[in-house]
């Protein structure tokens, strides 16, 4: 029996509708600023999509497009201006930055209260402790999808393939805590026994960036497969880390690429921005798991 296809676009649209309703009810403008440095084509596409998303839910776009030769000091000065602007409630720095710029230093300059990417060490520390904070959008999107499709989580086993600070590590923290209390293994590219781990997992999250890495014989029958990987192949199409056509015949649930986790990431970024705005305007904290 073929797996249930988890429609990230449909779930993301529901989340955006909720955000649009809540923004209207708040009764005052909410601002999001995406900083783009240079002319990387993929980054330009992503930023334009974020700007459209922002406008679709009634938020104000305060984005900045800076030349590739922007210095670290100039970038920090722009971030400082946005930190001080009360009309801007969320700030993101689009990656990758030009090679002469230090992305970690730039991230450290963002006010943690406006860090809607959830990459500032303060917010990462809050996630580690299951305390109020802004959590990365992709991992919260993964959890929102699993909950929407009522995939059993509590006490089940999960394998996260990839250990990036943007996806792998925070997904491990989110599924291992915040009420899910899954038994989580964070597997990475230096291991040589991937199939041994994935075959026993009830949930497999692929975030390795290697097309077709997860084969059908590596999946436990009925498991949920969340494919975060996205690579443009020689055929010009986008491919995930799972061999979708074959894995779907074994798995119980699976996300497509595109149309799975990608739309969820963008939707959760908007949810983060709304939560950040409410926190800044009211002085209230953000409860763990609030966004999902």
| Token couple for 149 | 């499709």
* Cβ neighbours for 248, distance < 8 A, ≥ 6 positions apart: 2, 3, 5, 254
* Cβ neighbours for 225, distance < 8 A, ≥ 6 positions apart: 3, 204, 206, 214, 219, 242, 247, 251, 253, 254, 255
Cα–Cα distance between 292 and 281 in angstroms, integer?
A: 21
Cβ neighbourhood burial of 274 (10 Å; 0-12, 13-18, 19+): buried
The separation between CA 158 and the C-alpha centre of its own chain, rounded to angstroms, equals: 18
* Cβ neighbours for 185, distance < 8 A, ≥ 6 positions apart: 157, 158, 159, 160, 197, 201
- Among 16, 50, 156, 220, the active-site one is 50
Rg of the chain over all Cα atoms, to the nearest angstrom: 19
- Among 53, 94, 115, 220, the active-site one is 94
- Among 53, 111, 117, 202, the active-site one is 117
Query: Does the annotation mark 215 as catalytic?
Result: no
Cα–Cα distance between 218 and 201 in angstroms, integer?
A: 10
Residue pair 57/88 in contact (Cβ under 8 Å)? The answer is: no
Residue pair 35/93 in contact (Cβ under 8 Å)? The answer is: yes
Query: Does the annotation mark 50 as catalytic?
Result: yes
Query: Does the annotation mark 237 as catalytic?
Result: no
Residues taking part in catalysis? 50, 94, 117
């Amino acid at each position: 029996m073929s797996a249930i296809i988890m429609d990230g676009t449909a779930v993301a649209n529901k989340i955006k509708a909720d955000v649009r309703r809540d923004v209207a009810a708040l009764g005052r403008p909410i601002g999001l600023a995406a900083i783009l440095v240079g002319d990387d084509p993929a980054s330009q596409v992503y930023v334009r999509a974020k700007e459209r998303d922002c406008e679709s839910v009634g938020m104000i776009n305060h984005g900045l497009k800076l030349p590739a030769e922007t210095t670290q000091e100039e970038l920090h000065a722009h971030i400082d201006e946005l930190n001080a602007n009360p009309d801007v409630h969320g700030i993101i720095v689009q990656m990758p930055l030009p090679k002469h710029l230090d992305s970690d230093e730039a991230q450290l300059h963002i006010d943690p209260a406006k860090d809607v990417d959830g990459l500032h060490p303060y917010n990462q520390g809050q996630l580690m402790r299951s305390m109020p904070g802004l959590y990365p959008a992709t991992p919260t999107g993964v959890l929102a999808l699993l909950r929407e499709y009522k995939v059993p989580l509590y006490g089940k086993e999960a394998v996260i393939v990839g250990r990036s600070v943007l996806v792998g590590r925070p997904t491990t923290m989110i599924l291992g805590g915040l009420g899910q209390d899954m038994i989580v293994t964070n597997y990475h590219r230096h291991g040589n026994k991937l199939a041994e781990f994935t075959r026993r997992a009830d949930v497999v999250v692929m975030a390795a960036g290697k097309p077709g890495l997860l084969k059908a014989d590596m999946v436990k029958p009925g498991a949920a497969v969340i494919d975060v990987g996205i690579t443009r192949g020689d055929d010009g199409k986008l491919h995930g880390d799972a061999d979708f056509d074959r894995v779907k015949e074994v798995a119980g649930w699976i996300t497509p690429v595109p149309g799975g986790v990608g739309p969820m990431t963008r939707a959760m970024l908007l949810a983060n921005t709304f939560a950040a705005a409410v926190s800044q305007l009211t002085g209230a904290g953000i409860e763990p798991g609030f966004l999902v």
